[in-house]
């Protein structure tokens, strides 16, 4: 490795570490002041709150690492421009492509790190953080299994839902068990599916079994469609449903296969499967984009201007990426196109800037 490559690798890595520490600290501090009241109201000790925020740190790092990489590239090249190092390198015959080569290698390294980090660390810590927030802070009486099944417990009601589709606000395979004060089953409802419309749940293909207290026998009634009053909202379901970030790539892929094997729509999770591969490459994209911004002359206007320009690029990338992913969730784009479109567009943007500079 050449001296220039070692220098760029060391400087970019140094500033990535500094920015990760600063941004993560600010993020945790803001989140702490927003949520500490909830922990105090729940009567939990400070150790639980501390553990919750520690478990959230890996997820925060995984989200902000690409932005820190972009800003670090801009800072390194900006300082080199201000110190006339870029001018000296160009005068010595060093081309832009020679500077780009070590940056691309660094981008690949950060992308690989982000994928492994998101696969091995983030799902475990996110699951533990959500468990603390759900079971101990919010005190939700819910059990989330590794499969699709959702169990919800109320005072005298136990609800079982086989699958929940958050896009359509639909539940499938619903069973409602009502009990009396002696925990005797007095009513049971089984429905094939249900939809949340106009603030109410409408159940379809419903079988209702009710206990006759005089005879002690159950009567069975069939309904094609009926509105049912449930103490359950889509927002509550989204809290208890196991999220994609709580699963690794292999587990999420297996989850998609199980959902589709039972005939349910797994589009949302298919998009998330492709996103687990596409998102880590953002680090590489940001390295190329940052180099393109720097060598095109934006850093000559000042380091602060270049950094502001980079923050704007990162913001537009995130908005565009989220928009494309939402199109994938809505089945307006195939899942793999939805998650890769933003990467492809911003990669072209970075390459065009480098070509114009050269």
- In the chain, where are the structural domains located? 3-131+258-357, 147-240
pLDDT at 148: 61
Per-residue pLDDT at 239: 62
Residue ranges of the chain with pLDDT lower than 50? 141-147
The pLDDT score that the predictor gives to residue 357 is 66
User: What strand order describes the sheet that includes 218-228?
Assistant: 142-144, 150-153, 157-165, 170-179, 185-197, 200-211, 218-228
Measured CA to CA, the distance from residue 241 to residue 231 in angstroms comes to: 16
pTM: 0.77
CA separation for the pair 255, 242 (Å, rounded): 11
Among residues 58, 38, 61, which one has the least CA distance to residue 48? 38
Percent helix, strand, coil in the chain, to 5, is: 65, 15, 20
Chain mean position to CA 270:
14
pLDDT of residue 147: 43
Q: How far apart are CA 66 and CA 114, in angstroms?
A: 9
CB atoms within 10 A of CB 127: 16
**Dihedral sign (CA 122, 123, 125, 129):** positive
Bridge-based pairing of strands 200-211 and 150-153 is unpaired
Q: Are strands 218-228 and 150-153 parallel, antiparallel or unpaired?
A: unpaired
Distances (CA, A) of 92 to 88, 95, 156: 6, 9, 80
What are the contacts of 336-340 at 24+ separation with CB within 8 A? 336/274, 338/271, 338/274, 339/271, 339/274, 339/275, 339/277, 339/278, 339/279, 340/274, 340/278
The answer to whether residues 230 and 218 touch, using CB atoms and an 8 Å cutoff, is no
Q: In the structure encoding, which two tokens stand for residue 336, read together?
A: 């793999």
For CA atoms 69, 73, 78, 83, the dihedral sign is positive
Residue 350: name the closest of 276, 296, 304, 280 by CA.
296
Residue 121, classified by CB atoms within 10 Å of its CB into exposed (0-12), middle (13-18) or buried (19+), is middle
For residue 297, the model assigns a pLDDT of 59
User: Token pair of 326, please?
Assistant: 């939402």
**Which pLDDT score is estimated for 296?**
67
Whose tokens are 């480098």? That residue is 354
């Amino acid at each position: 490795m050449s001296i220039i490559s070692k220098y760029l690798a060391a400087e970019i890595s140094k500033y990535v570490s500094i920015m990760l520490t600063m941004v993560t600290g600010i993020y945790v501090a803001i989140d702490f002041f927003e949520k500490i009241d909830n922990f105090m109201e729940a009567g939990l000790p400070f150790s639980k709150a501390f553990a919750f925020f520690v478990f959230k740190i890996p997820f925060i790092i995984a989200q902000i690492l690409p932005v820190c990489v972009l800003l670090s590239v801009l800072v390194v090249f900006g300082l080199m421009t201000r110190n006339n190092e870029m001018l000296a390198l160009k005068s010595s015959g060093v081309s832009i492509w020679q500077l780009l080569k070590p940056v691309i290698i660094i981008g690949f390294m950060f992308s690989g790190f982000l994928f492994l980090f998101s696969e091995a660390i983030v799902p475990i810590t996110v699951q533990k953080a959500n468990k603390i927030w759900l079971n101990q802070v919010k005190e939700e009486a819910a059990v989330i299994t590794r499969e699709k099944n959702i169990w919800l417990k109320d005072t005298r009601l136990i609800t079982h839902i086989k699958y929940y589709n958050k896009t359509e606000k639909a539940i499938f395979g619903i069973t409602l068990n009502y009990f009396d004060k002696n925990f005797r089953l007095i009513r049971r409802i089984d429905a094939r599916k249900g939809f949340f419309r106009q603030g109410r749940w409408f159940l379809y293909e419903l079988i209702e079994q009710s206990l006759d207290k005089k005879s002690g026998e159950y009567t069975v009634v069939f309904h094609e469609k009926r509105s049912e009053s449930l103490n359950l909202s889509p927002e509550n379901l989204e809290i208890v449903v196991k999220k994609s970030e709580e699963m690794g790539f292999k587990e999420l892929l297996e989850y998609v296969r199980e959902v589709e094997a039972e005939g349910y729509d797994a589009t949302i999770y298919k998009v998330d499967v492709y996103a687990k591969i596409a998102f880590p490459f953002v680090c590489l994209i940001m390295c190329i984009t940052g180099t393109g911004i720097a060598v095109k002359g934006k850093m000559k206007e000042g380091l602060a201007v270049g950094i502001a320009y980079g923050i704007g690029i990162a913001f537009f990338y995130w908005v565009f990426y989220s928009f494309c992913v939402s199109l994938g969730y809505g089945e307006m784009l195939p899942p793999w196109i939805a998650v890769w479109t933003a990467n492809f567009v911003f990669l072209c943007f970075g390459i065009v800037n480098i070509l114009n500079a050269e």
